[in-house]
Structure 1
């Protein structure tokens, strides 16, 4: 089977003065696009075969910015720059492809529209008519000479844009947050609708699995929606709301292990754990295998008809008259009353902690802080100093949970059958050494003052 990767150059500047089209360099956004696509091309193994690039400045710079993000010698074969690829004609590009020798079974072509789109649609009519700058298409073809290709002979197995690979690029296109002005009910309804749109916009990017920030933001928007719903429930009854909130909670929980694995792997990548090189590599590989399995399971959930139906039901529910009526009762005074109850509960739980309290007790305290923060966010008049204190406590308790989670995954690695005794011993020693920073964080939590002051 042959693999053909077709990539359009990243966003380029418009020609100015005496600059020709051929000389157009990348814009700053184009450089960010190319950088964002480097991990995609690595994951798809698109750089392991031949790399053919148009000689135009913008295609050369696209490759340069991709290569700058790769480990040393990641480009196994030297890229080939070809004047024939500086074309906007699909038939010319097809003729170039058919003239290739039979050897390359895997190939990346970085070129220009509309030639790339014309070629892609010749290979497979189902290919979208749009190929934004920096985007990549992955085709598989029968193991036959390039010269024998026929219309419709390829299968499109992958398609990704820079905005699907990078959260920072996505933010420019993300649904705009609602205006925080206006009465409480209209503001909260707009907030729920915005969070719904964000969740739906994030779903395909979560499934792409390139940037872990998409998963984090997906979880945040589900939880904030739930926070509004729980606040409504604490004040008034809404038929069906309890069941809806239960489903939101279930969907957020389904992402927990994957999020923990993302954080752990990122930490290992940014710091040097007290492990030998062999053990570190074995642990990383095992965690990545777990990550892939969790991501695959999540993708299956998100692509299931039942999930789409759930989200559509939630959209209809928040647009219903029952919810609109209930939101009118959620006045700033009532929000403050619920907030005060949660603050009082937090202070009680904090006072009950001791140096030998279980890890679970601190986890429950963290959940309470998050619920308080989400509720406080509903009221734009909440002092910034109070929100800053909540964020501080959330970070502190989050760091504690990350250490606990790290220990849990280390124990799971130790208990897995495929690892040798020395690797298990090293990981057990590392897990035990995490008790010291946990105790230091525990002391900081115990030293916190009550929120109700």
Structure 2
């Protein structure tokens, strides 16, 4: 929670900590993560905060000096949540350990604070900040063994729907890019499975839902690309002029902030809430389950064979002069084949292994194209000397060479084979 506390300004004012060992250790860990802030030297350790009674915390709060404009309290429940709900009844009745609640009070002396006088600005839990913490809380996928194909497709779509809803708070918080990645993956996987089902059987109402999923996934595209590029930039450290690298990083971060804000506005909209409610109800409907009963291994195999043949024809047509879009289309086709094969994974184990390897190659090519576009756009806006532009042009040329090497490798790939066993 150290980085979120710092970014939201919680550490900018006075810091008051209970005298309990665990609360002081909490601050010490935050201080170790943010050593430049000197938190341990600024902290006020107070025995009065070592309480589990909300009324005792109210008395402590009202005794704060008037010049304390911003206060962070690290204390104990149920006292903290009782105090918070006394100030702002709209708050939930509980928060996970390690959570942050940000309240804003009206101007005036602390002693004059009254019930219901606070505005709920924000709240944040560790599971919204770190995907590693969130992950165990995600719904478990049911074991596919012994499950009929229609039931498996329904379970996968329901599981992905639940994951999408569970991931939304982490996406909005925006501290761990993995939330966005998993959110995007589950949107696209849901759409791909739905399209696979639709290719094999007729399901009334499914196509409309898939169009909405496609639109939501597209809204995450640039943001995800920016996350990947920023992570790569910090790891690879390309040889650019000293002022260019941080300028590029700042430019990308600014673009990311704009994209993230736009996505948050979408997720908070009434239209989005209605859309997700409709999709969830559709997946749980009897009519959807009834239509899925027509999904058979034979139908899936027929569609899969057609898609593999189309992929092989597209792969055979790739040349050194093929446009980048041809390889992007190839990547989309591979994903469609993979998701269709995953409806019957035991039968298509070898095919799925080949598909994952090929998808990684095509994904790497896609990343290089995206990075090339971002660097080119940044270079066009850069007000710098010729050396700075030369460094960027050199990097663009290197990215082009990497793309060409991947293109040639893909041209040497073998054709896929769909099992008919």
Cα distance between partner residues in 2 of 1:197 and 1:182 = 20
Q: Is the 8 A contact 1:53 1:109 kept in 2?
A: yes
- In the TM superposition, 1:151-166 aligns within 5 A as 151-166=115-130
- In the TM superposition, 1:325-344 aligns within 5 A as 325-344=290-309
- Give the equivalent residue in structure 2 for 1:112: 76
Name the SS for the 2:16 alignment partner. strand
**What root-mean-square deviation, in Å, do the aligned CA atoms of Structure 1 and Structure 2 show?**
2.1
Cα distance between partner residues in 2 of 1:192 and 1:140 = 41
Q: Does 2:231 match 1:231? A: no
Distance 1:268 1:78, change over 3 A: farther
- Give the equivalent residue in structure 2 for 1:122: 86
Cα distance between partner residues in 1 of 2:7 and 2:71 = 15
- Give the equivalent residue in structure 2 for 1:380: 345
- Work out which of the residue numbers 247, 251, 257 in structure 2 matches 1:292: 257
How far is the alpha carbon of 1:179 from its aligned partner?
Answer: 3.1
Distance 1:414 1:125, change over 3 A: same
Name the SS for the 1:159 alignment partner. strand
Distance 1:94 1:195, change over 3 A: same
- Give the equivalent residue in structure 1 for 2:174: 209
The answer to which of 294-303 and 226-235 deviates more is: 226-235
Residue by residue over 1:373-401, the C-alpha shift from the partner in whole angstroms, topping out at 9 and shown as x without a partner, is 11121113134443222222111111111
How far is the alpha carbon of 1:261 from its aligned partner?
Answer: 1.0
Name the SS for the 2:365 alignment partner. helix
Instruction: Identify unmatched segments of 5+ residues in structure 1.
Output: 1-36
Q: Is the 8 A contact 1:179 1:187 kept in 2?
A: no
How far is the alpha carbon of 1:334 from its aligned partner?
Answer: 1.8
- Give the equivalent residue in structure 1 for 2:26: 62
- Give the equivalent residue in structure 1 for 2:241: 276
- In the TM superposition, 1:146-225 aligns within 5 A as 146-180=110-144, 181-225=146-190
Distance 1:353 1:175, change over 3 A: same
The answer to which of 212-221 and 278-287 deviates more is: 278-287
Cα distance between partner residues in 2 of 1:282 and 1:175 = 41
- Work out which of the residue numbers 274, 282, 286 in structure 2 matches 1:317: 282
Question: What is the TM-score when the length of structure 2 is the normalising length?
Answer: 0.91
Q: Does 2:306 match 1:302? A: no
Cα distance between partner residues in 1 of 2:141 and 2:17 = 40
Question: What is the TM-score when the length of structure 1 is the normalising length?
Answer: 0.85
The answer to which of 89-98 and 371-380 deviates more is: 89-98
Q: Is the 8 A contact 1:413 1:424 kept in 2?
A: no
Q: Does 2:377 match 1:420? A: no
How far is the alpha carbon of 1:263 from its aligned partner?
Answer: 1.0
Cα distance between partner residues in 2 of 1:424 and 1:108 = 46
Cα distance between partner residues in 2 of 1:355 and 1:148 = 75
Q: Is the 8 A contact 1:353 1:446 kept in 2?
A: yes
Cα distance between partner residues in 1 of 2:380 and 2:257 = 19
Greater percentage in helix: 2
Cα distance between partner residues in 1 of 2:371 and 2:404 = 15
How far is the alpha carbon of 1:61 from its aligned partner?
Answer: 2.5
Instruction: Identify unmatched segments of 5+ residues in structure 2.
Output: none
Cα distance between partner residues in 2 of 1:125 and 1:200 = 25
- Give the equivalent residue in structure 2 for 1:352: 317
